């Protein structure tokens, strides 16, 4: 099976390239192809002719999206639609990675795949609109919603907490936003299995166990051996951000279990995260050689994965 990963240099794409070992897998990042450029996307599909396409590329800076709505929709929606159209022309199946931010957080119990979307941020709206348009183009595609993604390489909450702990001994972290942290390797392994199962429709895929950002931070510091760093629980209002966040965005695992899949608790995944982090700090990342050198120009910035 020929697989194309678009977004192979991002937080998820990097480990997806490492975990995908049993198929012919080609990966491209923002430096190889600009998904907003229809001609580049068309050339990419003509070159690779994939049986499956996995689209992880996105503009993931939530506050940046709020400040620049046009860019958010250009990348997250228009770019995704370009990929879906070319996948349809190439008769390629598509798996699109989406987000818990398509929900407003008012439910108070885990969101099911059939719950109505109601995003409250520009980022969430751009992804929700992409979901709708992609499914119009490819009704049989798979949309995988995930949440609070973290991994050893890239911008994510644990890396920021550990960075701050080197210079600050007292951190203030929001305690009234609840979700489910998701380790990038666990999500990558799940995506591989979903593709091999021929998954269709919407699937929610996160590690299990809800928590607040405050609880997440405390566990990161505990497992990381930073007992000298204290964490103060604060309200969302105490730390204003440009983009609103859902207060509760836990995703139900019912849809994932339909494929006989279950992701482990996020607390259990933290040990592997720290192992990955130690390996990254000691030697160059091994995924780089697997990312294809596609002869296409890129117009995307480094913030687009």
What does residue 128 show for φ and ψ, rounded to 5 degrees? -65, -40
Who has greater pLDDT, 280 or 97?
97
* CA 207 to chain CA centroid, nearest Å: 13
Token duo for residue 95: 């798996």
- The percent of residues above 90 in pLDDT, for the chain, comes to 90
pLDDT in tens, 47-86: 999 999 999 999 999 999 999 999 999 999 999 999 999 9
If one compares 298 and 261, the residue with the highest pLDDT of the two is 261
What's the confidence (pLDDT) of residue 287?
45
Instruction: Please tell me the total number of residues recorded for the chain in this structure.
Output: 305
The predicted structure's pLDDT at residue 11: 97
Confidence at residue 281, expressed as pLDDT on a 0 to 100 scale: 83
Structure confidence by residue, pLDDT tens digits, 160-213: 999 999 999 999 999 999 999 999 999 999 999 999 999 999 999 999 999 999
Whether the Cβ atoms of residue 35 and residue 41 lie closer than 8 Å to each other: yes
Q: Mark whether 259 is an active-site residue.
A: no
| Domains defined along the chain, listed by start | 2-154+181-208+249-269+286-290 (3.40.50.720)
Give the pLDDT band of residue 284 (cuts 50, 70, 90).
Answer: low
Q: Which pLDDT score is estimated for 226?
A: 95
Burial of 237 (0-12, 13-18, 19+ CB in 10 A): exposed
Tokens of 251: 């995703």
User: Which is catalytic among the residues 101, 123, 214, 273?
Assistant: 123
What average pLDDT does the segment 267-272 reach?
Answer: 97
* 18: phi then psi, degrees, rounded to nearest 5: -70, -40
225, exposed or middle or buried, with CB in 10 Å at 0-12, 13-18, 19+? exposed
Tell me the average pLDDT of the chain.
Answer: 93
pLDDT tens digits along 108-167: 899 999 999 999 999 999 999 999 999 999 999 999 999 999 999 999 999 999 999 999
With a cut of 90, say whether residue 304 has pLDDT above it: no
């Amino acid at each position: 099976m020929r697989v194309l990963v678009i977004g192979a240099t991002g937080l998820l794409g990097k480990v997806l390239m490492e975990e995908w070992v049993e198929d012919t897998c080609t990966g491209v990042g923002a430096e190889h192809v600009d998904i907003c450029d229809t001609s580049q996307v068309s050339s990419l599909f003509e070159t690779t002719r994939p049986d499956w396409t996995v689209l992880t590329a996105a503009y993931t800076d939530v506050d940046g999206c709020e400040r620049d709505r046009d860019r958010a929709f250009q990348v997250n929606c228009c770019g995704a639609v370009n990929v879906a159209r070319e996948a349809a022309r190439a008769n390629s199946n598509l798996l699109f990675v989406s987000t818990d931010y398509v929900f407003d957080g008012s439910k108070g119990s885990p969101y099911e795949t059939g719950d109505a979307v109601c995003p409250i941020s520009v980022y969430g709206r751009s992804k929700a609109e992409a979901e709708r348009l992609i499914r119009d183009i490819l009704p049989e595609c798979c949309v995988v919603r995930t949440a609070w993604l973290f991994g050893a390489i890239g911008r994510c909450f644990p890396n920021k907490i550990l960075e701050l702990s080197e210079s600050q001994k007292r951190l203030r972290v929001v305690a009234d936003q609840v979700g489910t942290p998701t380790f990038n390797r666990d999500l990558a392994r799940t995506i591989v299995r979903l593709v091999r199962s021929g998954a269709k429709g919407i699937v929610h895929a996160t590690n299990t166990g809800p928590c607040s950002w405050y609880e997440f931070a405390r566990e990161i510091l505990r497992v990381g051996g930073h007992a000298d760093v204290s964490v103060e629980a604060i309200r969302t209002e105490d730390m204003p951000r440009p983009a609103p966040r859902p207060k509760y965005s836990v995703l139900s695992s019912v849809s994932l279990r339909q494929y006989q899949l279950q992701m482990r608790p996020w607390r259990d995944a933290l040990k592997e995260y720290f192992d990955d982090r130690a390996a990254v700090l000691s030697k160059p990342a091994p995924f780089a050689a697997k990312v294809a050198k596609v002869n296409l120009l890129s117009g995307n910035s480094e913030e687009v994965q």
